Structure 1
Amino acid sequence: MALTSRKKRPLKREVLPLRDANLIIIACEGQKTEKQYFNSEIFHSSRLQVIVLETKDGYSAPKHILERLREYKNSHKLEASDQLWLMIDVDRWPNEQISEVCSEALKMKNTSLAVSNPCFEIWLYLHFETLKQTVNSQDIEILLRSKMGGSYNKSNLAIEHFKDSINEAVRRSKELDKNTASARWPENPGTHVYKVVEEIQKIISPN
């Protein structure tokens, strides 16, 4: 796409002062959960706008998520300070496919990885306590319901359960990730979502 045909930076002018605003663009596997989390009151700031490119029409394979992120990057006039993140899970896809997509993503300027093993819900669970045994996606949903009084719903995330324990979730994620911080995805259980959250925190509270 020619530079002249790109759309302007997609800032919400009624919310953000343009001179200080940063963009974090996240392309994710989920249809609703990640978007509800990152667009919630937790991360509201005049310094930042988080844009979540959720999965639509069932196109949730890693290659489709990367395509969505690349298309967004190529169609908007982004600044050097804007960040792009590929947020995918490993529970449903072959390692070879994930590795290939991660390699392609890292060739894109200003793009980073936030991979969860087995799934994004690991990040949500770490708001409550750490988890060291190997789990699958079904296990995590059961555990989340036990912590949330049976109220976990991917389509209607009860954000009040998470807003006061962000730093604890980051700390627990790092503890699980201490031997694999440079890897493209963590061992099971683990998540690199904390890397996105830390970048958001740096923007919201630079001091």
Structure 2
Amino acid sequence: MPKPRPNTNARVPRKMHVYCEGRKTEPNYLQSYINNKSDSRLRTVIRIEDSNKNTPVQLVEEAIRDKNSGNNPTGDAYWVVYDRESTHKYSDDLHEKAYSLAIQNNVNIALSNVCFEYWLLLHFISTNAPYASFDDLITQSVLKTHVRKNTGKGYEKGSREIFRIVRENIGDARTRALAINAQTLSTAPAGVTRPYKLNPYTGIPLLLDAIDSFPG
């Protein structure tokens, strides 16, 4: 009796590819978030890609290259995660180029203005204070105070302890972020809607929502 032929039309599971500007802080948080989900499938279909790119344009271009490489199934989702940073470091023109490229190529952006640490701060308090840079936020906000209270140490970028001390407050952070994003947008000058022009703002809740509903 002949052996049954393999099903060559078997559906390849969709995957989500996430490219982060930070080498440790964002990947550690996001991977821990995925690992803590009850749906274990997410650990195999969501990939925090090992990227060495660290500017908005480079990250978006990397996602586009991978999307168009033919190495991944059609229908995979692509996200880039990066910070607005100070206007001295990254110009509006650079951010506009990255944003436009992403829209044109159906790549999703989770931008934090001014930095990812603003999202972390929202796990502890609700604040619509704008910050000019990472250093400004660390110096002027209460983030380091809350981290020290929970760990006995100061805030360290890339620390694997961060997710442990904030995970119980993720729901609060999401609620606060959505309210503050809406408030920032409502008070922005007419026609100003790009996230990199909205301070404060964080798109991390959008990414977490996408993770929660993937694969859908």
Query: What's the TM-score bracket when you normalise by the shorter of the two chains?
Result: 0.7 to 0.9
How far the C-alpha of 1:174 sits from its partner, in A, is: 0.4
**Length-normalised TM-score, structure 1:** 0.77
Change (3 A) 1:178 1:31: same
| 8 Å contact kept, 1:25–1:50 | yes
Within 5 A, what are the aligned runs for 1:71-110?
A: 71-75=65-69, 76-80=71-75, 82-91=76-85, 92-109=89-106
> Is there any run of 5+ residues in structure 2 with no aligned partner, and where?
1-9, 187-191
1:162 corresponds to which residue?
166
Deviations 1:37-59 (A, max 9, x none): 11113346323233223542xx4
For residue 46 of structure 1, the aligned residue among 40, 59, 65 is 40
How far the C-alpha of 1:191 sits from its partner, in A, is: 0.6
Change (3 A) 1:139 1:73: same
Change (3 A) 1:44 1:53: farther
Deviations 1:128-165 (A, max 9, x none): 11121121311333432211114422132312112112
**Length-normalised TM-score, structure 2:** 0.74
> Is there any run of 5+ residues in structure 1 with no aligned partner, and where?
1-17
The one-letter amino acid of 1:153's match is E
Larger Rg: 2
The one-letter amino acid of 2:15's match is L
Aligned residues: 184
RMSD: 2.6
The one-letter amino acid of 2:49's match is L
How far the C-alpha of 1:79 sits from its partner, in A, is: 3.9
> 1:199 & 1:164 partners in 2: Cα distance?
20
> 1:198 & 1:185 partners in 2: Cα distance?
17
Does structure 1 residue 120 correspond to structure 2 residue 110? no
Within 5 A, what are the aligned runs for 1:2-17?
A: none
Name the one with the larger helix percent.
2
